[in-house]
Amino acid sequence: MDKEVLIQKYLQGTLNQEEEALLQEYIEKDTSFADDIPFYEELNYAFAKADYDTTKTQLRSFYKEERRSTWRKWSIAATFLILIGLSSVWYLKSTSSTESLYAQYFEPYKNIVQPIVRGEAVKTTKELAFKAYDEQNYKKAIVHFDDLLSATSEPIIEFYKANAQLQLGETETAILTLESRIKKTDTMYAEAQWYLALSYLKLNDKKKAETYLKSLLQTNIPFKSNEAQLLLDQL
């Protein structure tokens, strides 16, 4: 996980156990990263205040007190000061960024089509595709998925292909796959709405994300319904 996203989730108090362990590992192994934590804690504290003058004074004090801080940290604080100076009334809402929300909610859909049993020979293209998918070899999985789709169009294969594309960071391609290949009558329609919502969230398109979350809830299928409502409330 990107260190900036990890710090952001730490400041928001949304780290899970795995992420907490990763944060602790970074702190122990990277002294520069560990030294940055107090700076961001103070910066976050300052921005949590609604009072304009107090926040501005605190941010300026950071420049005097943190002489050994990196240029990158100063550039972040300087940007915030510029934004503050644009308005005489400033207020920062404590909301999660779309990037951190995506990181919080996204996980690839589990392989329920072709479970691979250890020790058994993998022979068919479908078995090869899902073996690669389970092993997180998503590029190889997509190659095999395309081989399957060249023979016949299967929405469920398109769905897993889109999941693999998301794992590779091919968000716009995954959106195209899900929007053009998964129809309302398909069994994976509700699941596709969830991953479309997350895809648009990653692209910082909140309106589209909200549209697909509402579409998921309208299916009355329990898949991710609680998460969808919670995510809607956070947007």
pLDDT per residue as tens digits for the range 61-98: 544 554 445 555 555 555 545 544 544 333 333 345 88
Q: How far apart are CA 219 and CA 235, in angstroms?
A: 21
pLDDT, position 72? 55
CATH architecture of 100-234: Alpha Horseshoe (1.25)
Q: How far apart are CA 194 and CA 209, in angstroms?
A: 9
Residue of 184 and 67 predicted with greater confidence: 184
Look over the chain and give the mean of its residue pLDDT values, rounded to a whole number: 79
pLDDT, position 88? 35
Q: Which residue has the tokens 């989730």?
A: 9
> pLDDT tens digits, residue range 132-179?
999 999 999 999 999 999 998 899 999 999 999 999 999 999 999 999
> pLDDT tens digits, residue range 188-199?
899 999 999 999
Please state the domain extents for the chain. 3-94, 100-234
Q: How far apart are CA 145 and CA 160, in angstroms?
A: 8
Contacts of 219 (CB under 8 A, 6+ apart): 189, 190, 193
Q: Using pLDDT thresholds of 50, 70 and 90, give the confidence band for residue 3.
A: confident
Contacts of 198 (CB under 8 A, 6+ apart): 102, 105, 106, 166, 209
Q: How far apart are CA 37 and CA 66, in angstroms?
A: 13
Q: Where are the alpha helices (DSSP H) in 66-107?
A: 71-85, 98-105
pLDDT, position 95? 40
